[in-house]
Chains A and B, each alone.
Chain A
Amino acid sequence: DVKVTQSSRYLVKRTGEKVFLECVQDMDHENMFWYRQDPGLGLRLIYFSYDVKMKEKGDIPEGYSVSREKKERFSLILESASTNQTSMYLCASSFSFRGRNGYTFGSGTRLTVV
Chain B
Amino acid sequence: SQQGEEDPQALSIQEGENATMNCSYKTSINNLQWYRQNSGRGLVHLILIRSNEREKHSGRLRVTLDTSKKSSSLLITASRAADTASYFCATDDTGGFKTIFGAGTRLFVKA
Contact = CB atoms under 8 A, between A and B. Distances in A.
Contact of A105 (B31, B43, B48, B98): B43
Interface-central residue, B35, B41, B102, by most chain A CB under 10 Å: B41
Contacts of B14: none
A57 to B, nearest CB: 10
Interface residues of B, number: 23
Interface size range of chain A in the complex: 20 to 34
A16 interface: no
Contact of B42 (A42, A56, A98, A105): A105
Nearest to B5: A42
Q: Is the interface of B mostly helix, strand, loop or mixed?
A: strand
B2 interface: yes
Contacts of A101: 48
25 contacts: A35-B101, A40-B103, A42-B88, A43-B88, A92-B42, A92-B43, A98-B99, A99-B33, A99-B92, A99-B99, A100-B30, A100-B48, A100-B92, A101-B48, A102-B33, A102-B45, A102-B48, A103-B43, A103-B45, A103-B90, A104-B45, A107-B41, A108-B40, A108-B41, A110-B40
Identify the 5 closest CB pairs spanning chains A and B, nearest first. Answer: A105-B42, A102-B45, A43-B101, A42-B103, A105-B43
Given A103-B99, A108-B40, 6 more contacts: A43-B43, A45-B98, A48-B98, A98-B30, A102-B45, A105-B42
